[in-house]
Structure 1
Amino acid sequence: MERTLIDQNREEACKAVPGPWRELPELSGYQWSRSTVGASGCTVYRLYGKGLTPDLYIKHGAGPYADDLSAEAERMRWLGGYAAVPAVLHFARTADEAWLLMTALHGKTAYQLLQAYPEQQFAVVDQLARQLRRIHAIPLRDCPYASDHLSRLDRARARIDAGLVEEDDFDEERTGWTAEQVWDALQDLLPQRPDLVVTHGDYSLDNIVFCDGEIEGCIDLGRLGVADRYHDLAILWNCLGEFGAPLQQRLLQQYGIAGPDYERLKFYQLLDELF
């Protein structure tokens, strides 16, 4: 499917940037745009406009984000055996930088659909819940990656100490908080008793792509691993709050949770603020 237009709300046109893809002749002839959404620390480019040739994406990470991108490439390849994800076409790494070239998932994100088609909101949430159940049903023994709350807390502490937490990007209810205040609030909710499953790790509305009313696949897999199912539920729950409590309750209902643990929801929402 050809996409030739720039989505002014999500990307901006740019020139081709230097990188190892210059050695790949099949990338010549594309136009470039840079994503203006997301907060992963990596830069995302869409390559488009080459006749009927499909779009591609390039993700670039530097410094501490190079390791994150290496983890994402590895996990994307792994999850591709169980769910629809972009195909990794090329990955390159130096000591300080990493580049990931992948196929595109065409369509609109769950966030875009909820915004544009209010009458479809319950149907979108139902599909999100079903896909999340399928990911969580992957056998634990098959997954070689750990993303439990203790390892995540260690990484969060390291990010705080390195000054990597974007405090001005906290949710509205925590406007004005410092990363240390979030950290302290997390400690008040420990210990946690996790219900371990294979998790996406960042199951937000912008990371699930729909096409023709069906889920096309998911993206941003750098945090995938075995963790508490509430890790994914809390992130999606938090995203749905923008569209109203009925959608949040619909998520839990369709996922199959009759009595939600709101303390665990809060814990994983706080933890996500530090990433």
Structure 2
Amino acid sequence: MSPAQPSRRVVPDAALVARLIAAQFPQWAGLPVRPVTFGGRNNTTFHLGETMSVRLPAAKAYVAQVEKEQRWLPVLAPHLPLPIPTPLGLGLPGEGFPAPWSVFGWIEGETAALDRIGDLPQFARDLAGFLTALQAIDVTDGPVAGQHNFFRGGALATYDDQTRQAITALGDSIDGAVALAIWEQALAADWTNPPVWLHGDVAAGNLLVKDGALSAVIDFGILGVGDPACDLAIAWTLLHGEARAAFREALPLDAATWARARGWTIWKALIIVAGMSGASDEELAKSWLIIADLVGEHG
């Protein structure tokens, strides 16, 4: 039987998490529960003691990701060159919270930011090495693109109408002709290779840094198998100059894959600046810069 699922965004507090832990994992009852400063938008995350974290889906759209991470992270971890989250327990609905949830081992580190990275080109090469290793893992029975991961790894055409609507809505505030050309080139660049594993959300907030270097990759909720192009958006959302070139050189992917990567990147930036995603002011400002970068690179 499928667990109950929240139909709206649910924001649990530390007291609720403490009750869930006491009821379902009595061996950890009494450990302090503290909110994580940046717990992500799709999940609410708490520290549990000093060595664990608790992650609860924020809405129905993210519920399927819980059991997916529980199933696949232990399979992937031995093949990867960097730490990823280790599931320690699968929680069930209870105490007023209507969805499954997870306990993970805590991974030390700060989320990636330019002022925290000591050598950006080396960071790019390390990330490329991680993605190369991920893509090499056997995909048998892996989750194909679908609603569970918002079709990451699937066809860009899923977001064709949305992208064109955003370009039209933005009018003269962007170079719509170039934005449309980038998008149409991405649509025309089919993935014809066998499916590979993809993280699905390779963003600064899901990359941890320690002592200036990439130290771990977290939040595999959008994990899937298919076309890895979506994992390359980080080339424009964080990397630049020599680091972007180093990232591209270190990945054994063809020009068509990079064209689709630009498509994934400009789609997300366009819907943010067009007001279609409820993004923050910081995300809005960053997305304008990403569009300018992509348009300038295309020209």
Alignment TM-score, normalising by the size of structure 1:
0.67
- 1:60 maps to a residue whose letter is L
Deviations 1:57-77 (A, max 9, x none): 111114332223333333323
1:99 to partner: Cα distance? 1.3
Per the TM alignment, residue 236 of structure 1 is displaced from its structure 2 partner at its CA by 1.6
Q: Is the 8 A contact 1:209 1:218 kept in 2?
A: yes
How much has 1:238 moved relative to structure 2?
Answer: 2.7
How much does 1:192 deviate?
A: 4.3
Partner of 2:293: none
CA contact (8 A) 1:252 1:260 kept: no
Distance in 2 (CA, whole Å) between partners of 1:104 and 1:139 is 27
Aligned partners of 2:33 and 2:48 also within 8 Å: yes
**Deviation per residue, 1:109-144 (Å, 9 max, x gap):** 3x14x3234x4222211211111111111133x452
Which residue pairs with 1:74 in the alignment?
Answer: 71
Alpha-carbon shift at residue 269 of structure 1 (Å): 1.8
Q: Which of 1 and 2 has greater Rg?
A: 2
Query: Per the alignment, in what secondary structure is the counterpart of residue 97 of structure 1?
Result: coil
Compute the displacement of 1:30 (Å).
Answer: 1.6
Please list, as runs of the form range in 1=range in 2, the aligned pairs for 1:168-247 lying within 5 A after superposition.
Answer: 189-194=186-191, 195=193, 196-212=195-211, 215-233=214-232, 235-241=233-239, 244-247=240-243
Unmatched segments (≥5 aa) in structure 2: 1-12, 146-150, 163-169, 272-276, 278-299
Which segments of 5 or more consecutive residues in structure 1 lack a partner in the other structure? 1-13, 49-53, 161-172
Q: How many residues align?
A: 235
Tell me, in whole angstroms, the C-alpha distance in 1 between the residues paired with 2:183 and 2:22: 45
Counterpart CA distance in 2 for 1:86 and 1:205 is 16
Contact 1:105 1:216 in 2 (8 A): no
Distance change (3 Å), C-alpha of 1:78 and 1:271: farther
Change (3 A) 1:211 1:150: closer
Paired residue for 2:51? 55
The reply on whether 1:20 has 2:20 as its aligned counterpart is yes
Matches within 5 A, 1:1-275: 15-18=14-17, 19-23=19-23, 24-25=25-26, 26-36=28-38, 38-39=40-41, 41-48=42-49, 54-61=50-57, 62-83=59-80, 84-94=83-93, 96-109=98-111, 111-112=112-113, 114-117=114-117, 119-140=118-139, 142=140, 144-147=142-145, 151=154, 189-194=186-191, 195=193, 196-212=195-211, 215-233=214-232, 235-241=233-239, 244-256=240-252, 259=255, 262-270=258-266
Distance 1:250 1:150 in 2: 23
Residue 189 to residue 254, structure 1, CA distance change in 2 (3 Å): closer
Runs of 4+ in 1 over 4 A off after TM superposition: 148-157, 185-189, 212-215, 256-262, 270-275
TM-superposed deviation, 1:265: 1.9
Distance of aligned partners of 1:248 and 1:226 in 2 relative to their CA distance in 1, 3 Å threshold: same
How many angstroms apart in 2 are the aligned matches of 1:154 and 1:260?
A: 15
CA distance in 1, matches of 2:46, 2:16: 9
When structure 1 is superposed on structure 2, of 85-94 and 208-217 the one drifting more is 208-217
Q: Percent identity?
A: 18
Q: Label 1:43 to 1:31 Cα distance change in 2 as closer, same or farther (>3 A).
A: closer
Q: Tell me: CA distance 1:260–1:186, structure 2 relative to 1, closer, same or farther (3 Å).
A: closer
Residue 88 of structure 1: how far off its partner (Å): 0.9
Tell me the CA shift for residue 28 of structure 1: 1.5
Match of 1:10 in 2: none
Q: Cα offset for 1:97?
A: 1.6
Cα RMSD, aligned residues only: 4.1
TM-score scaled by length of structure 2: 0.63
Letter of the aligned partner of 1:122 in structure 2? Answer: P
Name the structure with the higher helix share: 2
Change (3 A) 1:262 1:67: closer
Name the CA distance, whole Å, in 2 between partners of 1:223 and 1:232.
11
Secondary structure (helix, strand or coil) at the match of 1:91 reads strand
CA distance in 1 between partners of 2:186 and 2:132 (Å): 26
